[in-house]
Amino acid sequence: MVNYINTAPIYESWKKREHPEGWQLVEAPPATLNRMLAAGELDLGFVSSHEYCVRPMLYRILADLSISANGSVGSVFLFSRVDPGALDGCPVLLSGQSQTSVFLVKIILEEFYGVKPLYSSGDVDSELSAEATALLAIGDQALRLVGDSRFPYQLDLGAVWRHHTGLPFVFAVCAVREDFCRSDPETLALIHREFVRCAHIGRENLEAVCRVAAPRIPMHPDECYVYLRAIGYDLGEEKQLALERFFRYLIDRGEGAAESLPLKIVRSE
């Protein structure tokens, strides 16, 4: 599980509930969870949507679960010193914490704005940021940079995607390895239902979740509430269409596997 503030409704609910002894929850950044799931070190978990698109033969997607936004997401930003349309050939620093956000910002800049910057990867909190014309920041790092006067242009990637496609954006899915689907479908169904239940509990108790999570940024609990209200944890029909559109872009650009479509979604009765 990623311990970012945007997962707090699920994660804080999970931590308060009792689970079987054999259920081990691993906390790590998105890129680490992607690697661990691909290597078979995890059976399932919330991972970047891009991870599923790159290795669809390894996974299925659990129904009714995502980390998504219907428009502005509030924690995935391109922070730029110049108008994004002027970034052609300019150095852009990309956070290495989320594959999905990296490929989304490339689609936005290259396909929507028609520019091709010079990309590099690194820690956006390091001295590398001083040399970049723009930088991609996600999660808690992005929340801390919002309003920073060094970057007069601040693009919320969820809002830009919505403007150009008319669709929400799915940043993460709950993916399960194919071998775990086959080897232990009963346990999978139990964990699946528990994740969905935690998402519902977290949404119903969002003010209490915000009182716990907001100090980590730090931000006021009221600001946290507004932010988390904009985050979705479902995977309805429109969000499935959004995933398909994102995957089609990745496939056409040679950055995803054609086998990722159609989506393989697991439903637990």
Asked if pLDDT for residue 96 goes beyond 90, the answer is: no
Going by pLDDT thresholds of 50, 70 and 90, the confidence category of residue 197 is very high
- The set of residues, in sequence order, having a beta carbon less than 8 Å from that of 260 and lying 6+ positions away, is 52, 53, 54, 56, 247, 250, 251
DSSP state of 43: S
Asked if pLDDT for residue 155 goes beyond 90, the answer is: yes
Candidate ranges 27-31, 40-44, 99-103; pick with highest mean pLDDT:
40-44
Going by pLDDT thresholds of 50, 70 and 90, the confidence category of residue 35 is very high
pLDDT of residue 112: 98
Q: What percent of the chain has pLDDT over 90?
A: 83
Going by pLDDT thresholds of 50, 70 and 90, the confidence category of residue 269 is low
Averaged pLDDT for residues 134-145: 89
Q: Where are the alpha helices (DSSP H) in the chain?
A: 8-15, 30-38, 49-54, 99-107, 139-145, 157-165, 178-183, 185-204, 206-213, 221-229, 237-252
Going by pLDDT thresholds of 50, 70 and 90, the confidence category of residue 11 is very high
Averaged pLDDT for residues 245-260: 98
Averaged pLDDT for residues 37-48: 96
pLDDT of residue 139: 81
User: In angstroms, rounded to a whole number, what is the distance separating the alpha carbons of residues 256 and 246?
Assistant: 10
Least confident among 2-11, 113-122, 169-178, 191-200: 2-11
N-term to C-term CA, the chain: 23
Q: Which residues pair with 67 in a beta bridge?
A: 172
Structural domains in the chain, sorted by start: 5-70+169-266 (3.40.190.10), 76-165 (3.40.190.10)
Mean pLDDT taken over the chain: 94
Task: Compute CA 68 distance to the chain's CA centroid, rounded to the nearest angstrom.
Answer: 7
pLDDT of residue 228: 94
User: Residue 232 in 3-state DSSP?
Assistant: strand
Averaged pLDDT for residues 11-21: 95
Going by pLDDT thresholds of 50, 70 and 90, the confidence category of residue 159 is very high
pTM of the predicted model as reported, rounded to 2 decimal places? 0.94
